[in-house]
């Protein structure tokens, strides 16, 4: 493993460790390469339940149910999934349910897929309009601190919080033709 691969693995592992220490018991996700490390670690952890979703908005409902049932959850998704959740986000506001989502950004840095760009441009504004506190991570050294702060804002202060993980941090995606 190269030094840069080790650095990437370190910040991704730090997300999992912060979620574990923050007593996250349910991890909802739509499969995403940017979240793969956390998803795999959560699957392997007997103290966490993982739920693969057919659409991101299901994760909002799952988060509400988890909270009402006495558990903390996190929704892992790409920025393209934010648009699927807008109507369900109103439930969080209306019922004042604490909520945490970690969002890998697409459509930013060296994006090859033009379909990812429009929602990428709208993600932060949509979340803000729906009442979320939005935090952004671009530096691997800040990932752990930002995710930990987001956990406190959600589950101690009772806010709806989104952490945007920049595409540059995740790394370039390249289209590979067979």
Q: Cα separation of 128 and 112, whole Å?
A: 27
Q: What is the pLDDT of residue 9?
A: 79
Encode pLDDT of 27-59 as tens digits. Answer: 999 998 899 999 999 999 999 999 999 999 999
- Predicted model pTM: 0.92
Q: Cα separation of 20 and 162, whole Å?
A: 18
Q: Cα separation of 89 and 159, whole Å?
A: 12
Q: Which CATH number fits domain 3-170: 3.20.20.70, 3.50.50.60, 3.40.120.10, 3.40.50.970?
A: 3.40.50.970
- Looking at the DSSP bridge assignments, the partners of residue 134 are 162
Q: Show me where the domains of the chain are located.
A: 3-170
Q: In what order do the strands lie in the sheet with 133-137?
A: 49-52, 24-29, 72-78, 99-104, 160-165, 133-137
Residue with tokens 């989104």: 162
Banded pLDDT at 106 (limits 50, 70, 90): confident
> Which tokens go with 119?
């929602």
Q: Cα separation of 33 and 29, whole Å?
A: 11
Q: Cα separation of 114 and 112, whole Å?
A: 6
- Total residues belonging to the chain: 178
């Amino acid at each position: 493993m190269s030094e840069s691969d080790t650095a990437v693995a370190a910040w991704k592992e730090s997300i999992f460790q912060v979620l574990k220490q923050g007593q996250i018991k349910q991890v909802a996700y739509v499969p995403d390469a940017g979240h793969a490390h956390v998803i795999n670690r959560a699957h392997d952890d007997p103290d966490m339940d993982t739920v693969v979703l057919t659409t991101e908005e299901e994760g909002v409902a799952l988060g509400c149910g988890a909270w009402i049932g006495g558990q903390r959850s996190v929704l892992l998704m790409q920025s393209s999934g934010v648009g699927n959740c807008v109507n369900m986000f109103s439930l969080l506001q209306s019922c004042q349910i604490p909520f945490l989502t970690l969002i890998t950004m697409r459509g930013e840095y060296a994006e090859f897929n033009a379909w990812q760009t429009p929602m990428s441009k709208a993600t932060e504004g949509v979340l803000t309009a729906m009442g979320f506190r939005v935090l952004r991570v671009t530096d691997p050294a800040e990932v752990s601190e930002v995710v930990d702060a987001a956990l406190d804002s959600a589950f101690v202060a009772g806010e709806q919080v989104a952490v945007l993980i920049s595409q540059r941090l995740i790394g370039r995606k390249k289209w590979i033709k067979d």
